[in-house]
Every structure is written in C-alpha cells, then in structure tokens.
Amino acid sequence: MKYSYRNKGYFLSAVVIVLSLFIFSCEDQNYLHEKYLKEGETVYIGKVDSMIAFPGNYRIKFRWRVGNDPRTTKTVIYWDERENSVEVPLNAVADSTGRLWDETIIENMEENDYVFEFEMQDEQGNISMSREITASVLGDLYSENIRKRGVEGIAKLETAEMEIQWNKVSNKELIYSVVEYEHDGNIIKQQVPNEDNSSYVGGLSTGDTIYIYSCYLPENGLDTFATAKVAYVMPKFQREISKAGFEALVEPGDNTSVNNGRPLSAVFDGGTRSGGSDGTILHTVDYTNATGSAIEFKFPNKFTIDMGKLATLYQFKIWPRTDNSPFTGHSARFIEVWAVDELKTQDDFATEADYQTYYTTTYVEQKDPLNYLSKDEFYTDILSNTNSKAENFVEAAPMAGIYNWQEDWHKLGDFEIEKPSGYAYGSKNDADQSAWDAGFTFNLNEIGEKVRYIRILVKFPNWQNTNCVNIGEISFFGDDL
C-alpha cells in the first residue's frame, strides 16, 4: 500500500482517540478510590465466633468466643437495626482447651424476637466483621402460654395424707412441679420431680386448698418460668365410722324403756331383725294404749350415742325392723339427727333442775299435715288410715326462751323415710320390699367441724301410729382421721 498524507491523517486521528480514552479511564479509576485514599487504609480486627444465646425473663445472656487478637478491647452488641446497643469490655476467660470466651447479660429488654449483631473493637476504633444471631427475650406472654403438669386425681388416704396422682410429663422444658399450701401458719412448697407419678401431702383436711404450678426452663434458658397457680380443694374422705367404740348414753329425756331385751345398743350391733343371729333391734316399750302417768315416754323419742371418737360426718344410714312387712309396725318414719363435739354434764349446771330442763326441753318441726295437735284432737294417718289420740304421742311445744340442748348441738338433718310405691298401709310392691331391706341413706348437713356425740329424735308418727319405736341398725359415714 502506498503511504500518503491522507493515510497519515487517519493514523494520527486514531492515535489521538486511543490516548484520550486512556486518559479518561485513568481519571475514572482515581475517582472511585479517592475517598479511600483520603480516609486511609481500613484495618479489620478479629471477629467473634460461636455465639450462644440464653433467653431469660425480660433479659438475655450471651456467651461468645473472642479469638486471640491482642488488639481487641471490647465487644459491641447491636439490636433493633442498630438503634440500641451495649458495649462489653473484654473480660475473656479461657476454657479447658485454651479458647477465650466472654459473656454478658442485657437487662430490661422487651419480650420479643431479635436479631443481634456482634462487633469487636480496639482502642483506635478499628472494628471486626460483624456476626449475627437470632434470639428471643421471654416474659409474661411466654408464662401465660405454658401449661402446668396435669393432675389425674386427688384422694385422702387412710393414713390421713392427701395423695396426688400426676399425669406423665412430655415437655422436656418442664423441670418440676410445685404443691403449695398453708400449714400451721406457714407456706409450704413441696417440689415434685417429673419422674414421680404420685406425691403425698400431710397435715391437710377436707376443704383445705392447695395450689399447683409447674416450672419451666427453656432450652439454654437463663431463668425459670412458673405457670399460673391452679387451686384444688382437698376432697372428702368417707368411710363407715367403726361401731367398735359406740356406746349408748342416757341423758335426761331419753327413752330408756326396753321391750324384751332389745336396748338402744342393738342399733349398732349389726342386726336388723328382731332376735337375729347377727344382732337384734331397738324396741322400746309400747305405750300406745297407756293413759295418764302410765305414758312414760312419747314422741319425739330421744336417744343419745357416743361414737367414741371425733369425726366429720357426711351420711347417715338407718335400717328398719326388716323382719316386719315393709312400711308397717313400730319402725321409725320421721327422724332428726343432731351432733356435738363436747357433751354437757350435770357439773356444767348450777342446779339439777337446770340440767334436767336443758336436755328434756325439745323443739321439733313436724311436716304437714303432722303439725302439733292439741290433746283433744285425733291424728289420722293417710297411709295406715288409723286414728290416734295426739296426747299419747306428741310433746307440747315448750315455752320460748328456755335454754336447751339444741342451742349447743348441730342439726345434721331432718329426714323422712318414704315409701317408694305410695301404696296404702299393708300394701306393697317389689320396690317397697327392696328399699326396706336395703335401708335408707341420707346426706347430712356439713357443719365444717368434727363431732362425737349423736342425738336421734324419732318424731311422730311411726308407720303404725303407735307410741313405740323400732330401729334395726344405724351407721354413720365420714372422716374420722
């Protein structure tokens, strides 16, 4: 190719363009590094490693490895996108392998999930590369949502202890449960390990309250959290009160008459038939046809028994004379049961007359149409359809204001033995016979205290409208522990 000035011009133009691009390129590179050149070289120090979080109650603990960089003087922990932070002066401790660990607790945190950034710094302000960890701060919301260990049941034992049966524990963060109660003015806290399926509490009675809650330690937890306390009322213990200690007593006004060797003690000898092989019945003298002073006792007939021990009573059971046809004869029909813990004796009164008046004066309420009748009236029973003169059976209502035994005793119940069929006297069905043989159970008024002495009032009329009392057997059920 021939060289010409035209070709020379093209060549020079190309050289100028290339040189211009080179110069501009260099200027752009200087511009990008200019701020770093002005600020100087950035020095990074050793960063944290192996951060561990320990969630706590409105606080959190951290433990982290700091490495061996001698320039490090502190750790800065940031959260809430670096709006909050704490500085932790270096206080590293070596573990058994020689690795250095530091730790701190951040208090007064709000309950929440957080992202924490860890950054090491030295005295010149040089920093490390930051490391992040996600961790939670716990509080009331966490406590409200954890559940106590389940209780399968509570029962009072014959040892007088309360037994608590527990459900199995499936949550690994539940570490133990607590039974809390008051005894002798002191608050007792009994810790129950998870492996115990039952636990026992002493010194409590029916109606006392215990509180049960469970304690949790979250994974790597700093603090223990307790569930809400749940109250449990201690249940009744009920068994038949042993009659081995029963004794028939005699207080003024009690019917002490005995017909053919069948005294009051027969009501706790185990028999419900007159002259039965397992025991006999109470049979008082029959004053139905007696008049005037020959009527030694009349309704309400009173009988007093010492159980020989204190007991909280819940039920009373009475058997009639079961060798009679059901709902006939002298067997009791209307009964009141009274009880007291201490018995007044003659020594508690100024005079013999006061003592006699105290026990003989008795107020009773008869159910309609069995109100008190005047001595000239006759009573007609709807079942027996027989007439009886009231004066032979009913005590006159005493004058008001007389201090009598009923002011000190507790009325445990006022009961009527009812005939299932409702048939007239002398007629029966299978239900009547079954009820008569099985006896009649009544729930007693709960008075909140133990008693020892029982007074039974048999009220007018009996099943045959006679002035006589038959009782086969009685039993009391309750807590004598």
Predicted confidence (pLDDT) per residue in 203-258, tens digit: 998 889 999 999 999 999 999 999 999 999 999 899 999 999 999 999 999 999 99
Alpha carbon distance 398, 300 (integer Å): 13
Give the domain extent around 94. Answer: 44-137
The pLDDT score that the predictor gives to residue 396 is 53
Which of 233, 261, 295 marks a domain boundary? 233
With 60 as the cut, is the pLDDT of residue 38 above it?
no
The pLDDT score that the predictor gives to residue 390 is 56
Cα torsion for 219, 225, 231, 234, to the nearest 10°?
60
Which of 233, 262, 281 marks a domain boundary? 233
CB-CB contact of 74 with 156 (8 Å): no
How many whole angstroms from its chain centre is CA 162? 11
CA proximity to 132, closest of 151, 145, 146, 118: 118
Task: Look up the CATH number of the domain holding residue 172.
Answer: 2.60.40.10
Confidence of residue 71 (pLDDT cuts 50, 70, 90): very high
Task: Look up the CATH number of the domain holding residue 438.
Answer: 2.60.120.260
Alpha carbon distance 182, 258 (integer Å): 51
The pLDDT score that the predictor gives to residue 394 is 60
Which of 85, 108, 137 marks a domain boundary? 137
- State the SS3 of 317-381: EEECCCCCCCCCCCECCEEEEEEECCCCCHHHCCCHHHHHHHHHCCCCCCCCCCCCCCCCCEEEC
Q: For the chain, how are helix, strand and coil distributed in percent, rounded to 5?
A: 15, 40, 45
pLDDT tens, residue by residue, 133-157: 999 999 999 999 999 999 999 999 9
Query: Do 244 and 220 belong to one domain?
Result: no
With 70 as the cut, is the pLDDT of residue 377 above it?
no
The total domain count for the chain is: 3
Tokens representing residue 212 in the block:
């049960």
The phi-psi region of residue 353 (left if phi > 0; otherwise alpha if psi is between -120 and 50; otherwise beta) is alpha
Least confident of 119-123, 274-278, 375-379: 375-379
Cβ within 8 Å of residue 431, ≥6 positions away? 420, 421
For residue 54, give Cα distances in angstroms to 104, 223, 225, 425.
10, 9, 14, 83
Alpha carbon distance 281, 348 (integer Å): 33
The pLDDT score that the predictor gives to residue 224 is 97
**Model confidence pTM above 0.85:** no
Confidence of residue 364 (pLDDT cuts 50, 70, 90): confident
Alpha carbon distance 311, 374 (integer Å): 40
Tokens representing residue 170 in the block:
């499936």
> In one letter, which amino acid is 285?
V
The pLDDT score that the predictor gives to residue 480 is 93
Q: Does some domain include residue 112?
A: yes
Q: Does some domain include residue 173?
A: yes
Query: Do 102 and 245 belong to one domain?
Result: no
Instruction: Name residue, tokens 């029963």.
Output: 246
What DSSP letter does each residue of 45-68 carry, written as one string?
EPPPEEEEEEE-BS-EEEEEE--S
